[in-house]
Amino acid sequence: MLAPSNLSSGCDQAFDQRNLDWYIDKAVQVVVFMGGISAIIFIVGIFLFITKEGMGFLIDTLDLQEFFGSPYWEPSDEDAPEYGILALMAGTASVTGLAMLIAIPFSLGTAIYIAEFATGKTREWLKILVELLAAIPSVVWGFIGLTIMNPLIIELFDVPVGLTVLNAGIILGLMAAPIMTSIAEDALKAVPDRYREAAEAMGATRWQVVFKTVLPAAKNGLLGAILLGVGRGFGETMAVLMATGHAVNIPGSVFDSVRALTATIAAELGETAVGSDHYQVLFTIGIFLFLITFLINLTADLIVRGIRKS
Amino acid sequence: MNNQMFAATQLNQKNQRTEKLVQLLFILMASLLILPVLVILATLVVKGGSILSIDFLFTDPTNGMTEGGIFPALLGTIWLVAVALIISVPLGIAAAIYLSEYAPDNWFTRLINLAIINLAGVPSIVHALFGLGAFVVFFGFGTSILSASLTLAIMTLPVVIVSTREALQAVPHSFREACWNMGATRWQTIRRVVLPNAVSGILTGIILEVSRTAGETAPIMFTGAVFFSPFLPQGIMDQTMAMSLHLFVVSTQVPGVPENLPYGVALVLIGMVLLMNSVSIAFRMHLRGKKKW
């Protein structure tokens, strides 16, 4: 029993669909779009706010030549504060460099093993372990550097201090390796099977397939993985704060204590007055860190996207 | 003659030997990556296990934080994570729905993706600077759970977005088409068909975010977490202690802490995080086994 009036209004709706559902649909579209652009708003917001806090100092007081060229970091000196981040950059670079020396072979090796050699249960378990490895918080890694690695290094190498480039480098290497492993594994998986089949059909053995065919084909993805690892190491804070020894120093060997850019902010921001020169110079370091990591991530993304297209 | 034809030549034998060697090398690398971590976990358990008890979890630290439990820090972490989730989960899911269901393939969408990647890649200490400059100072929230959770929420937003987007995209396109053909609007399709089929995948991502949020230290150091607070937080405008910062404090800032105390804190923190991750992994595997399409 369908009344004609009902039928006709149904027809009207079919032709003009601006009923409640239509409006809800439009409203939702706006809401999810806001969600979508929130990421852009936040990244721009981050840049604007750290620039706002650090820019005045950057323009008025800071001598860029001193900032990048001087190894003296004495921002709390009341008479003649020094704002040189050369030693801090050297600290960050040495720790990140050593970390990459450790993380690159291990993460690429593990990725190749997972993607090309391991099968079944071994593969599943390895992937799970790598994922759990990536989940360990950085403050726990710092704690490990402080309490387990420190005495170990002192004993093994017979050195007076164990909180050094070596300590933080190993810790950071172990931290960066899992992420690099999973991205590298994705890159290897993205190489089409027909490449492997073609090589195998030519009589190549497994490792020949991997070295001569798969690795060259996945080159860009692997490079992207390494770059993201560098970005990770560069930006890591708590672990390097706790494991480097936190001494302003241009390292001469891996047994020297250093101080990283990130760790400097973490250690000193709490004791500065909002708006003071010291407070502002820490934000200036923040701007520098933001720009560097932005550049690294952008490059990595472009490289990785490059392989997806081709 | 026939036998010789199929016998391994010298070249074959050499190749087989190299093959074995190379494989051994890779196994070695993989185990060298995993092994130290297992050793470290074992050390944490051995050295910190002795202090763990129900009392340790549910009493306040006493005697200048050299004795007693970790209750305020544990409760603080729960506060921080809960408020951060309330902020980031709806936002992240909305963003993922936009990217998966609405976004056209153009430069603007690529810009959003780039922003997400960079949001995940910006150093945690820069997020801390942002949180301090924006929420604590500019918006005047002060050092509070709200400021800290907002900072954490923005920092971990990419985790929710990426995992939710993956879950949504795993729902076959034919499901959507079937629904559209019935005359459903886009939103009706998403609400009745896409989301119900993706809900477990989304949940997996949220659990992962909980784990990430609970372990972060740098972003909360200047925005809401304090070394020590004699009071438990009563609301989101209060300061609070937190597990991750507490580990930093008892292992570097407080003199005369008995050795097993920081190990115990580290063990509880890492236990929380690994438990969350394991649940998330188990959940994902269960899903993969159950998938209907």
* Within a domain: B228: yes
Residue B51 has a pLDDT of: 86
pLDDT tens figures, B56-70 = 888 888 877 778 889
* Within a domain: B95: yes
Alpha helices in chain A (DSSP H): 4-15, 20-60, 64-69, 86-112, 120-135, 138-144, 150-157, 165-189, 193-201, 206-208, 215-217, 219-235, 238-243, 261-268, 277-309
Among B24, B25, B37, B118, most A C-beta atoms within 10 A, so best to mutate, is B118
What SS3 class is residue A223?
helix
A5: pLDDT strictly greater than 80: no
Residue B264 has a pLDDT of: 92
Is B226's Cβ below 8 Å from some Cβ in A?
no
Among B38, B130, B152, B226, most A C-beta atoms within 10 A, so best to mutate, is B130
**Helices A165-189 and B10-48: crossing angle, nearest 10°?**
130
Within 8 A by CB and 6+ apart from A237, the residues are A138, A260, A262, A263, A265, A266, B123, B124, B125, B217, B218
A18: pLDDT strictly greater than 80: no
Residues of chain B with Cβ-Cβ distance to A298 below 8 Å are 114, 118
**Separation between Cα atoms, residue B135 and residue B129, nearest integer Å:** 10
Residues of chain A with Cβ-Cβ distance to B278 below 8 Å are 132
CATH number of A82-309: 1.10.3720.10
pLDDT tens figures, A19-58 = 888 888 889 999 999 999 999 999 999 999 999 988 888 8
What SS3 class is residue B68?
strand
Q: Give the percent of chain A with pLDDT over 70.
A: 93
Residues of chain A with Cβ-Cβ distance to B266 below 8 Å are 140, 143
| Domain edges within chain A | 82-309
Q: Say whether B34 and A133 touch across the interface (CB within 8 A).
A: yes
Distance from the A178 Cα atom to the nearest Cα atom in chain B, whole angstroms: 9
Pull the structure tokens for residue A287.
């701007």
Is B282's Cβ below 8 Å from some Cβ in A?
no
More confident residue, A5 or A115: A115
Q: Search chain A and give the residue with CA nearest B187.
A: A25
Residue B291 has a pLDDT of: 67
More confident residue, A6 or B78: B78
Distance from the A251 Cα atom to the nearest Cα atom in chain B, whole angstroms: 23
**Separation between Cα atoms, residue A227 and residue B174, nearest integer Å:** 38
Distance from the B92 Cα atom to the nearest Cα atom in chain A, whole angstroms: 7
Q: Search chain B and give the residue with CA nearest A296.
A: B121
- Residue B253 lies in domain: 66-290
**Separation between Cα atoms, residue B125 and residue B148, nearest integer Å:** 13
Q: Say whether B94 and A25 touch across the interface (CB within 8 A).
A: no
* Within a domain: B17: no
**Separation between Cα atoms, residue B90 and residue B264, nearest integer Å:** 35
Residue A8 has a pLDDT of: 46
* Within a domain: B6: no
Predicted-complex ipTM score: 0.89
Please tell me which of the candidates A106, A139, A234 has its beta carbon nearest to residue B247.
Answer: A139
Distance from the B262 Cα atom to the nearest Cα atom in chain A, whole angstroms: 9
Within 8 A by CB and 6+ apart from B292, the residues are none
Residues of chain A with Cβ-Cβ distance to B121 below 8 Å are 228, 231, 235, 293-294, 296-297
Asked whether the beta carbons of A61 and A81 are under 8 A apart, the reply is no
Residues of chain A with Cβ-Cβ distance to B116 below 8 Å are 39
More confident residue, A302 or A15: A302
Q: What's this model's pTM, rounded to 2 decimal places?
A: 0.89
A4: pLDDT strictly greater than 50: no
A17: pLDDT strictly greater than 70: no
Mean pLDDT, chain A, rounded, equals 87
**Separation between Cα atoms, residue B78 and residue B116, nearest integer Å:** 26
Structural Rg of chain B based on CA atoms:
25
Residue B22 has a pLDDT of: 85
Structurally, chain B folds into a number of domains equal to 1
Look at the block and give the residue holding tokens 């296990």: B49
Distance from the A47 Cα atom to the nearest Cα atom in chain B, whole angstroms: 8
Q: How confident is the model at residue A168 (pLDDT cuts 50, 70, 90)?
A: very high
Residue A110 has a pLDDT of: 93
* Within a domain: B198: yes
A81: pLDDT strictly greater than 90: no
CATH of the domain at B92: 1.10.3720.10
Q: Say whether B128 and A266 touch across the interface (CB within 8 A).
A: yes
Q: Say whether A147 and B251 touch across the interface (CB within 8 A).
A: yes
Residue B54 has a pLDDT of: 85
Q: Say whether A29 and B187 touch across the interface (CB within 8 A).
A: yes
Q: Mean pLDDT per 10-residue run, chain B (293 residues)?
A: 66 83 86 84 89 86 81 94 95 95 90 92 94 94 95 94 93 90 89 90 90 93 88 90 94 85 92 90 82 64
